[in-house]
Amino acid sequence: MGSHRRLAQSGFDRGATALCVLSAAAAALGVVPATSAVAAPHDDTRAEVDRLYEEAEKATEAYNKADARAGSLRKQVSGAQDRIARQQEHINSMRDALGSLAGAQYRSGGLDPSLALLFSDDPDDYLDKAAVLDRIGVHQAGELKELQEAMRDLAQDRSEAARKLGELEKSRKAVASHKRTVEKKLAKARQLLNALPSAERAAYDRASRSGRTDLPDLGGDVPSSERAAAAVAAAQSALGRPYVWGANGPYAFDCSGLTQWAYAQAGVAIPRTSQGQRFAGRQVPLSQAQPGDLVTYRSDASHVGMYAGNGQVIHAPYPGAPVRYDPVGMMPGATVTRV
């Protein structure tokens, strides 16, 4: 894997790359002197745009996490509601079977005094209980106890469903909050870009598309498994498709959406967020990376791509840049996970 070492030594982050390309392009266009030691007037603007895109990506992963949590809670609440409905139907059937006794309990909203004695925990009521049992019969007493247990279970499930609904509401609010954060940062980035002179904006756009969407030389690296090979093939089929925050295919993607979708095409479920994907398998050294391995970046694992071979990853970079190949050393803090 000598190519890994060669590429890793020349690694770069997205912002640095964009600025290098922009400086060269600006010099070629005569925007700034090529040998000037003074930063171009708009270097700070471009750096700020890169910073906003990075922060937006982190907020996007937080959005994805909250959205996935909300989706899970919706399923749990739906399941609880179905279970409660079935329990209520079962209770109603038991009440019907108990006839007038169950009917009296249902109408009164509680147990008849004699039935309350039946279920009392006070040992002194034993003889009274025995008398009641004589009147209603052992079989009927068993049905009443079953009814009481079913009603207790129903009350517990209703309480749990109410708690889940509360969690769901909090998760929905978190989703909305993260969405607003992403939208504000992206809107500010677009505003800054639009304020650049047209030549510098064009140079930035060219730098944003500096990765490859055609098939580079991926060497002879072999995927670690058939499912990894299938995931790589799926990711390659998405080359050129746009980055859209919060999207997980098939026509647009954010970074973790692309890798999750690619593995889903291989029949493998992995977490929705880049942080979750970092621990979706076994950690391996970068020097041992094989096609299909997930490569997460930065100390907080806020970006993820898929190793494609020969020191290249496929990833959804950021708004304005399509799914493409870039060197594996494009950002700091690379961590490799084999699914």
Catalytic residue numbers, as ranges: 255, 303, 315
As a whole number of angstroms, the distance between CA 65 and CA 253 comes to 15
Contacts with 105 (C-beta within 8 Å, 6 or more apart), sequence order: 95, 98, 111, 112, 115
As a whole number of angstroms, the distance between CA 211 and CA 67 comes to 30
**Cα separation values, 164 from 62, 75, 161, 173, Å:** 20, 10, 5, 14
- Give the burial class of 21: count Cβ atoms within 10 A of its Cβ; 0-12 exposed, 13-18 middle, 19 or more buried: middle
As a whole number of angstroms, the distance between CA 186 and CA 48 comes to 11
Six-digit token pair at 227? Answer: 């499912």
DSSP reduced 3-state for 13: coil
Q: Is the dihedral of CA 191, 194, 195, 200 positive or negative?
A: positive
**Cα separation values, 239 from 59, 242, 270, Å:** 24, 9, 20
**Cα separation values, 122 from 8, 116, 119, 129, Å:** 76, 11, 9, 10
For 249, left (φ over 0), alpha (ψ -120 to 50), or beta? left
